[in-house]
Amino acid sequence: MSVPPQASVSSSSSYAQGLALVGFGGFVLSFDIPLIRLSESAFWTVLLVRGALTCLAAVLIWRIDRALFPRGQKLIAGRAGLVVTGIYSLAAASFVFSVFNTSAGNVVFILAFNPMFSAILSWRLVGERPSTPTLLAIPATLFGVLLIIGAGFETGNWMGALAALATAFLIALAITLARRSRTDMRYAAALGAFLPALIAVPFVAAEGIHSEAIGWLALNGAVIIPIALICLALGPMFVPAPIVSMAYLVETVLAPVWVWMVFAERPTDLALAGGIVVVGTLVVHSLVELGRARRSRRRSIAVASRHV
């Protein structure tokens, strides 16, 4: 049975929409770490304020969505949605811990390993076998991440580097499970901030709110994070999990630039070398995969046209 050209065009359009969504989400997310740093807040304060506002904003957006479309998306998409939300909760906590225990550059460079985790998990859990370029990219990016963790041992902030690696794995796992379920989980990542915020409540109650510029933290939690996470959580509906994960490459490139510009914080030479290996590998990988996807779509359209 032949595929109508219209179906191929529609598929290409959905793919383009997915790329635009996750690309925008990655760009917005690049302001996360700089805003946390600008707020000069304590760890528990960040966990509570950022998490609570992110969750509240997600619920508010969902309520507006339901008011406009009464049969719209559920806040939590069943048991699978609950599991994915729980995984995002762990990722939110480990991410904030990593920000406080290693440099911003180290965090985002290690988070760039996310696409490789997604490729491996998608292979094991979804049956989407990685392409040859992806299989070649995995050891190269792993080498870069090991360099960054090695830099962490030199400077004594290796725990933050390992927490960033755990965050990359958890985000990749959540994205892959969402992809496997084929369910709209646009609010899962933002709602995942609730549990860390809840855990932070007794600590903040005991020591109080500690922030020199809480407005930056409020902007981050109420606007930046919900928009970024909802865009990224929508991605698996349109494109494969490894492609969604590559949106974090945008943050990897831009976040250290913002931090370098504002705080003059330069990564160590070893961490910078590792970051260059990771980013360079992923850029080459993305270009190769994009070329393959375009050629595949052109072949599909050509075959469909011949059968009309």
Is the pLDDT at 1 greater than 60, yes or no? no
Residue-by-residue DSSP string for 235-277: GGGTS-HHHHHHTHHHHHHHHHHHHHHHH--PPPHHHHHHHHH
Which tens digit of pLDDT belongs to each residue from 61-104? 888 888 877 776 777 878 888 999 999 999 989 988 988 888 77
Residue 12 confidence class, pLDDT cut points 50, 70, 90: low
pLDDT of residue 3: 40
Show Cβ contacts of residue 40 under 8 Å, excluding neighbours closer than 6 positions.
211, 212, 213
Q: Under DSSP, is residue 68 helix (H, G, I), strand (E, B) or coil? A: helix
- CA 215 – CA 78 distance, rounded (Å): 35
What is the pLDDT, as a whole number, of residue 153? 66
Between CA 275 and CA 287 the distance in angstroms is 18
Domain extent listing, the chain: 5-306
Residue 123: half-sphere exposure toward Cβ, Cα within 13 Å: 12
Contacts of 1 (CB under 8 A, 6+ apart): none
Packing angle between helix 194-207 and helix 43-68, nearest 10 degrees? 140
Longest CA span, the chain: 71
| Predicted local distance difference test score (pLDDT) of residue 232 | 80
Please compute the mean of the pLDDT values over residues 189-213 and round it to a whole number. 90
CA 152 – CA 135 distance, rounded (Å): 27
Cβ atoms of 25 and 237 within 8 Å: the answer is: no
- Say whether pLDDT at 213 is over 60: yes
Higher pLDDT pick, 39 / 109: 39
Q: Average the pLDDT over 287-292 and give the result.
A: 74
**Average pLDDT over every residue of 211-236:** 87
Instruction: Evaluate whether 26 touches 250 at the Cβ level (below 8 Å).
Output: yes
Task: Check if the beta carbon of residue 181 is closer than 8 Å to that of residue 80.
Answer: yes
